[in-house]
């Protein structure tokens, strides 16, 4: 082991730095640590300050993003609630409209059936009137034919003259 003596004041062997790490004393360590701290303070301080600024900037950006995301979430929830209300109104309106269409269709069907029934009844009445008129005509024709068949045998000239006088009187 060698000891290096660096005379600081020009005196030989009285004061010096021992660079042997195993033989150093507390004063030498304090001096070395002090010098390192003095020279590295600016460099490490600036590096740590930049890192601190980057972390603070990242935190502020994260907080701003959180705030924006919270605002966007609230807006999306509000929009969702409005859309759900709108969908419920549309669904309710659709049900009401479907019910109204169903009722209108039922009324039209009932009206059409009533109209068909009235038409059928009118057709039936017209057919009955036609058949009744046809039967009356047939009955009248048969009565006339029967009267014409029996009248010559029952009607003499005196009764015939009396019948003509009565018919003329009825016409006046």
- What are the extents of the domains in the chain? 28-119
**Stretch 126-146: mean pLDDT, rounded?**
88
pLDDT digits (tens, 9 = 90+) for 141-164: 888 888 777 777 776 777 777 878
Query: CB count, 10 Å around CB of 5?
Result: 13
**Stretch 125-130: mean pLDDT, rounded?**
90
**Stretch 50-71: mean pLDDT, rounded?**
95
In degrees, rounded to 5, the angle at the alpha carbon of residue 113 between the alpha carbons of residues 111 and 115 is 70
Residue 102 has pLDDT above 70, yes or no: yes
């Amino acid at each position: 082991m060698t000891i290096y003596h660096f005379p600081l004041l020009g005196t030989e062997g009285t004061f010096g730095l021992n660079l042997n790490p195993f033989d150093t004393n507390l004063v030498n360590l304090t001096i070395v640590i002090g010098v390192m701290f003095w020279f590295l303070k600016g460099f490490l301080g600036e590096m740590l300050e930049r890192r601190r600024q980057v972390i603070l900037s990242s935190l502020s950006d994260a907080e701003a993003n959180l705030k924006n995301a919270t605002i966007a979430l609230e807006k999306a929830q509000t929009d969702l609630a409005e859309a759900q209300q709108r969908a419920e109104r549309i669904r309710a309106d659709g049900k009401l409209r479907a019910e109204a269409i169903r009722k209108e269709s039922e009324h039209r069907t009932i009206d059409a059936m009533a109209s068909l029934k009235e038409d059928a009844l009118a057709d039936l009445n017209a057919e009955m009137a036609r058949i009744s008129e046809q039967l009356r005509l047939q009955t009248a024709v048969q009565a006339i034919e029967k009267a014409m068949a029996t009248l010559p045998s029952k009607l003499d000239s005196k009764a015939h003259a009396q019948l003509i006088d009565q018919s003329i009187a009825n016409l006046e």
